[in-house]
Amino acid sequence: MTIPWDPHLSRHHITLVADDDDMVQLVAQPTAPNPVFLAGQPVLTTSLSAGDFFVIGQTSFHLGHGTDSHSASDHPEGIEATRFEPGQLEQVPFRDPGKRLEVLTRLPELIWGARSDDDLHHRLAGLLLAGVTHADAVAIVEVANDDTDTPPISVLHWDRRQETAGPVRPSSRLVRNAIGDSARSILHTWDTDQAETPYTVVSEFNWAYCTPIRDVPGEQRAIYVAGRAPGASAQSGRPVLESDVRYTELIAEVVAAIRRVNRLERQRSSFRQFFAPPVLSALGDDPDTSLLNPRECDVTVMFCDLRDFSRHAETSSDDLIALLDRVSRIMGVITTQIHKFGGVTGDFQGDAALGFWGWPFPGATATQDACRAALGIRAELQNASTDPDHPLAEFSLGIGIAHGRAVAGKIGTSDQVKVTVFGPVVNLASRLESLTRQLHVPILMDQATADRVRDSLGADEARLRRLARVLPYGFETPHTVSELLPPQSQWPELTDEHIARFEEGVDHFLAGSWEEAYGCLHAMPASDRAQDFLTMMITQHNRIAPPDWDGIVRLPGK
């Protein structure tokens, strides 16, 4: 067996015998100066099948059928192709390992510092030209994702050791074969006076190889390197070329890993805008974007809106940036509380914000957590109001909470989408927020929400107060609305006895006993504005319910 590029192998090392089962028996000669390695272990005898390879000295030998990719029938005359299977190059030693190790240790830092794909490709080409010393040309290429037999190839970036030598024109055949279904590095070598010119071979080159950048979803990119081998021919330089291919595969693996991390980080960053940390944790390290697809589910919706925003905007017309900063701080308070209690931030509309619970995962405490978030927002603004110099001291919020069926997920048009929730329950939460102004309370909830939390939220967390039964403008179904209150320890002005007396008055009001209702409501502390809504209506009717009274207060407008 004569190997022209490795003089140490130009003697008898092995015997290969083909049998009738498409197997080849390998027997190492006892007098051979170099051992035979298979899968990194020395062997004396073994059976080989198509696709196996073994290593002697600095050369790897690949066993294939006559129809394999390196056969002359598949390539223009004079070009020898070698496809490297996974692990095939592991036994190939690195040339100049000290220099290459230095380059590889700097690779992550250089790639992380890239500001864009163009910058990344520029840095990558420079590293390859520095590490593959006899390479003349490097290109980063991409094969389009289409169903044609010959998808177009784009050169994303190219570089030459000699800038005046002209652009790099990679071999389309080599690139497509390397990025194909098997995604393997392929080396082509040729003699420049024999290779067919239709193969896009540049006369000053006698080798080229292409290494895919694997495992980047949605992309088919590769590194293309070409040059002239040292020595009389490309074949004589094969050990050097195999070492270069191994070096390039290591770089491609690092690049692919870092790009995957970048992609996941961008994905998680986009999720982080909407999801609380516990939800992100449940999604895992590789979030499944199909979870964002819109679907119908039970949700609890919280709608928040700044009160008197128009007045604030008018008084701050000479410093709108300062107003924007204050509004942004309030939106930050809302977002923080939504995320703190496991909710999803939905839509932002100037001075209003939407949060919801129950998606992408259902939760047994979703409604309770929505109430906890609402009380957290109220507490933050209440604390700010005690300091006249606080930037949020003059602002107040109305909050509406409703529970029901809705469609949640990534909703929008082909041009713009956002994670939000859609359905009548959203409209109800918005209308409840509007009612907070008329009923003079900060937080209102519908009956479905009240039923779910009345017995599950302890008195040390929250209290509920039934206020009235109303028919909002534009609605066909009346709703019993309740106020969500902090525990008595945080709001001692309104005691549990006051709440019980108020609800007794509501029962009289619904039954048409307005004189009794007035007495109960009038017992509230002067600081409690919730009584005003009903007492004013009772007073206007001289404390006598209308003859057709059905217990429902019909609201004339939004």
CATH number (domain holding residue 21)? 2.60.200.20
pLDDT at 391: 65
The three-state secondary structure class of 457 is coil
Question: Taking Cα atoms as reference points, which of 337, 346, 347 lies closest to residue 370?
Answer: 337
pLDDT at 356 over 70: yes
Examine the domain organization and report whether 86 and 226 are in the same domain: yes
The answer as to whether 217 is a domain residue is yes
pLDDT at 71 over 50: no
Q: How confident is the model at residue 365 (pLDDT cuts 50, 70, 90)?
A: very high
The answer as to whether 179 is a domain residue is yes
Examine the domain organization and report whether 35 and 95 are in the same domain: no
The answer as to whether 70 is a domain residue is no
The answer as to whether 102 is a domain residue is yes
Enclosing domain of residue 236: 75-262
The three-state secondary structure class of 407 is strand
pLDDT at 236: 65
pLDDT at 431: 93
Helices of type H across 447-529: 447-453, 496-511, 514-521
Contact assessment for residue 545 and residue 514, using Cβ atoms and an 8 Å cutoff: yes
pLDDT at 548 over 90: yes
Q: Please list, residue by residue across 364-383, b when 16 or more beta carbons sit within 10 angstroms of its beta carbon and e when fewer do.
A: ebbbbbbbbbbbbbbebbee
Examine the domain organization and report whether 372 and 435 are in the same domain: yes
Domain end residue (candidates: 65, 100, 118): 65
Least confident among 175-189, 249-263, 318-332, 404-418:
318-332
| CATH label of the domain that carries residue 219 | 3.30.450.40
Examine the domain organization and report whether 410 and 282 are in the same domain: yes
Examine the domain organization and report whether 468 and 453 are in the same domain: no
Q: How confident is the model at residue 404 (pLDDT cuts 50, 70, 90)?
A: very high
pLDDT at 62 over 50: yes
The answer as to whether 267 is a domain residue is no
pLDDT at 171 over 70: yes
pLDDT at 500: 96
Examine the domain organization and report whether 11 and 138 are in the same domain: no
Least confident among 116-125, 292-301, 304-313, 413-422:
304-313
Please tell me the distance from the alpha carbon of residue 235 to that of residue 152, in angstroms, as a whole number. Answer: 31
Tell me phi and psi for residue 91, to 5 degrees. -90, -5
* Sign of the CA dihedral running 64, 70, 75, 79: negative
Over residues 462-467, the mean pLDDT reads: 96
pLDDT at 49: 79
Please tell me the distance from the alpha carbon of residue 437 to that of residue 273, in angstroms, as a whole number. Answer: 30
Please tell me the distance from the alpha carbon of residue 176 to that of residue 200, in angstroms, as a whole number. Answer: 14
Q: Which long-range contacts (CB under 8 A, 24 or more apart) does 7-16 make?
A: 8/33, 8/34, 8/57, 9/34, 9/56, 9/57, 9/59, 13/56, 14/56
pLDDT at 72 over 50: no
Domain end residue (candidates: 410, 441, 457): 457
The mean pLDDT value of the chain amounts to 81
Instruction: Name 171's bridge partners.
Output: none
Q: What is the share, in percent, of the chain residues with pLDDT greater than 70?
A: 75
Least confident among 31-35, 49-53, 192-196:
192-196
Over residues 473-500, the mean pLDDT reads: 93
One DSSP character per residue, 123-173 reads HHHHHHHHHSTTEEEEEEEEE---SSSS--EEEEEEEESSGGG------HH
Asked, as a colleague might, if the bond just before 360 is cis with ω within 30 of 0, I would say yes
Contact assessment for residue 63 and residue 41, using Cβ atoms and an 8 Å cutoff: no
The three-state secondary structure class of 107 is helix
pLDDT at 272 over 80: no
The answer as to whether 244 is a domain residue is yes
Domain end residue (candidates: 262, 288, 316): 262
Examine the domain organization and report whether 258 and 282 are in the same domain: no
Please tell me the distance from the alpha carbon of residue 133 to that of residue 244, in angstroms, as a whole number. Answer: 9
- Angle among Cα 161, 256, 224 to the nearest 5 degrees reads 30
Examine the domain organization and report whether 329 and 421 are in the same domain: yes
The answer as to whether 268 is a domain residue is no
* Sign of the CA dihedral running 497, 498, 500, 501: positive
Provide CB contacts within 8 A for 512, sequence distance 6+: 545, 549, 551
pLDDT at 7: 54
| CATH label of the domain that carries residue 449 | 3.30.70.1230
Over residues 202-219, the mean pLDDT reads: 78
Examine the domain organization and report whether 315 and 367 are in the same domain: yes
Query: What's the pTM value of the predicted model, to 2 decimals?
Result: 0.56
Over residues 94-110, the mean pLDDT reads: 70
Tell me phi and psi for residue 32, to 5 degrees. -65, 135
Examine the domain organization and report whether 105 and 225 are in the same domain: yes
Examine the domain organization and report whether 510 and 408 are in the same domain: no
Please tell me the distance from the alpha carbon of residue 163 to that of residue 232, in angstroms, as a whole number. Answer: 25
The answer as to whether 97 is a domain residue is yes
Quote the number of domains for the chain: 4
- pLDDT tens digits for range 212-265: 987 666 678 999 999 887 665 666 667 788 888 988 888 888 778 777 777 766
Please tell me the distance from the alpha carbon of residue 430 to that of residue 470, in angstroms, as a whole number. Answer: 15
Q: How confident is the model at residue 485 (pLDDT cuts 50, 70, 90)?
A: very high
- Of 150-154, 382-386, 452-456, 461-465, give the range with the top mean pLDDT: 461-465
Q: How confident is the model at residue 277 (pLDDT cuts 50, 70, 90)?
A: low
Examine the domain organization and report whether 338 and 195 are in the same domain: no
| Bridge pairing between strands 397-412 and 295-306 | antiparallel
The three-state secondary structure class of 421 is strand
